[in-house]
Amino acid sequence: MLLIVGLGNPGTPYENTRHNIGFKVIDKLVSDFGANEISKSSFQGELFKAPNLLLLKPTTFMNLSGNSVQAVKNFYKIDLEDIIVIHDDIDLPFSALRFKNGGSHGGHNGLRSIDAMIGKEYTRVRMGVDKPAYKSQVADYVLHDFSDEENKILDKWIDHTADAVKAFKTENLNFVKSHYSLKSFLPKKEE
């Protein structure tokens, strides 16, 4: 059983922000798999089930994401190596996609919370959202909506990321890295 976690903040004001890109990928996967909601208040999140797959959107707000992940992990006895976390990454250019196992949280408060609750050796799906000109602007930047230009490719990028996550059902991290990593997601030119 894989546990796929998409990070974000609950509530309409945050719905289309850069910080919520993980939620958007989970929404796509829930739709694609026709997953059924099986949430419980103790999970502190929206949990959906598909065959051999759990899809989680923590509703604790970003800084406490680990509480939700730990609750679901413990309830379903999920091994750390079977947890995949999808999150925004300001250290990658917009629409880049990278994958790694373990490592540092890089200042991301959602990852910091998860690391503290369950450890670091889970797979990370890093979705590049670029960064603002000044470090002091990071909090505002990730809590702002995507720009009009970014919105033009957002759906294609989310679809590509969802396909990558689906590949984890049958393939290992190295396969997914080599087939789905992106420097930048640009639409393919029509021939």
In a domain, 190, yes or no: no
Q: What is the model's pLDDT at position 112?
A: 94
Q: What is the model's pLDDT at position 5?
A: 98
Q: pLDDT tens string for the chain (191 positions)?
A: 999 999 999 999 999 999 999 999 999 999 999 999 999 999 999 999 999 999 999 999 999 999 999 999 999 999 999 999 999 999 999 999 999 999 888 888 999 999 999 999 999 999 999 887 777 888 888 888 988 988 999 999 999 999 999 999 999 999 999 999 999 865 554 44
CATH code, 28: 3.40.50.1470
- For 161, the token pair is 């990321």
pTM of the full structure = 0.93
Paired strand residues for 145: 17
Paired strand residues for 98: 126
Among 143, 116, 135, residue whose Cα is nearest residue 8: 143
In a domain, 87, yes or no: yes
Among 121, 90, 125, 106, residue whose Cα is nearest residue 5: 125
Q: What is the model's pLDDT at position 191?
A: 42
In a domain, 55, yes or no: yes
Total domain count, the chain = 1
Judge whether 179 counts as a catalytic residue.
no
Q: Which of 19, 105, 108, 179 is catalytic?
A: 19
Q: Which domain holds residue 102?
A: 2-180
Q: What is the model's pLDDT at position 186?
A: 58
In a domain, 187, yes or no: no
Q: What is the model's pLDDT at position 116?
A: 95
Q: What is the model's pLDDT at position 143?
A: 86
Q: Is 188 exposed, middle or buried (0-12, 13-18, 19+ CB in 10 A)?
A: exposed
In a domain, 188, yes or no: no
